[in-house]
Structure 1
């Protein structure tokens, strides 16, 4: 399996003299697209209703659970990144920690898969899930992840989203109610202007 993992990596990873436009695209998705995930959560909170906010709390819990699981997996099974074994070409400076599973994709897909489970949040979930695909390519292309790291992220994220969907009804609504105690007074001027929802 590891030989297949490395072979697939070398097929996707940047060449010794990569095209500058492709590198720029890879950097966009591999380094910066991840910020669309918290931006989606914040914008959804500010512009959505309380039902959507419950889905966002559930998605946030899914992300936290998935990232915790990813850290535990990384400690229990420290898989080296490609550059740690001298494989391929690396286009960014990255810490020499465990590669499996990808934290970027775990975070993105844990939120996306959670949102996909609810009709009122499905559009945002679809967009984030799709953004994860070029993000996955980019993380391999720039040399910091193997293809199986991406598969691992999808599995961890899917399980986390499923668990939070099962338990969300117990914690999401109380968290939203508690948050509203601070949110509505703090954002009252913006609510009155219609810039954010109540």
Structure 2
């Protein structure tokens, strides 16, 4: 066998080694270096909530279907912004007008709605602390057209407040039409907040459940709190609006 033939075998071996590892030497220093070891595949991580993954996938699919496109129409964004950010102020206005202009029965209905709203917001905060579900923009999903804090999304505070008042009024005789109107208009707010990218659809379903539960609890507990709450609120009302009551502008 010729000398050229004997050298051809190691030459082929060197050709398939990675750069910097040929002949067991470093390219720059010439010092011997052990061949690189292949990384062993790691076991897949387990989230501990595998049973929720199909629901989360559905939640994200619905979100992407309802969320604004990359180039939305300006009038639609403006409408969604009004619904999502400013319409919520109709709730305190409604409660205030109902109290100032209503009779004792109406005022007690407003107090029950207020109690339902506070219970719903408290329950929502506790749920958010126990299960801090991220908002869409926190995971880079969809398009976000409304600035919002990066806090837990489930359930929606806006819809919890809105529907807690609506459900409470639905349980009050004489206030059911207003409650139904609020409940239906809440659907528009739910769409707007998903469209603008700050909530998932399931955040709205969670808000509906929390709101209904809060209204039911406020109604059941009314015999214990309504009397003291009404007397206290009426005393404050007389102090704050005494002059307007004397002029007949505000109901006593």
Query: SS in structure 2 opposite 1:172?
Result: helix
1:68 equivalent among 111, 122, 127: 122
- Asked which structure has the greater CA Rg, the reply is 2
Cα 1:183–1:118 change in 2 (3 A) is: same
- Residue aligning to 1:80: 134
TM-score normalised to the size of structure 1?
A: 0.96
Structure 1: give runs of 5+ residues left out of the alignment.
none
**Inter-partner Cα distance in structure 2 for 1:83 and 1:186:** 44
Tell me whether 1:144 sits opposite 2:198 in the alignment.
yes
Q: Which has the higher helix share?
A: 1
TM-score normalised to the size of structure 2?
A: 0.76
Report 1:133-172 matches (<5 A).
133-172=187-226
1:112 equivalent among 138, 151, 166: 166
- Residue aligning to 1:22: 76
Task: Report the CA distance between 1:55 and its aligned residue.
Answer: 1.3
Task: Report the CA distance between 1:169 and its aligned residue.
Answer: 2.2
Answer yes or no: is the 8 Å Cα contact 1:74–1:99 preserved in 2. yes
Task: Report the CA distance between 1:7 and its aligned residue.
Answer: 0.6
Query: SS in structure 1 opposite 2:198?
Result: coil
Task: Report the CA distance between 1:129 and its aligned residue.
Answer: 1.3
Task: Report the CA distance between 1:50 and its aligned residue.
Answer: 1.4
| 185-194 vs 75-84, which moves further | 185-194
**RCO higher in structure (CA 8 A, sep ≥6):** 1
- Residue aligning to 2:107: 53
Query: SS in structure 1 opposite 2:175?
Result: helix
Structure 2: give runs of 5+ residues left out of the alignment.
1-54
Runs of 4+ in 1 over 3 A off after TM superposition: none
**Inter-partner Cα distance in structure 2 for 1:94 and 1:178:** 36
- Residue aligning to 1:2: 56
Number of aligned positions between the proteins: 198
**Inter-partner Cα distance in structure 2 for 1:112 and 1:168:** 17
C-alpha distance after superposition, 1:119-146 (max 9, x if no partner): 2222221222122110000000000000
- Residue aligning to 1:96: 150
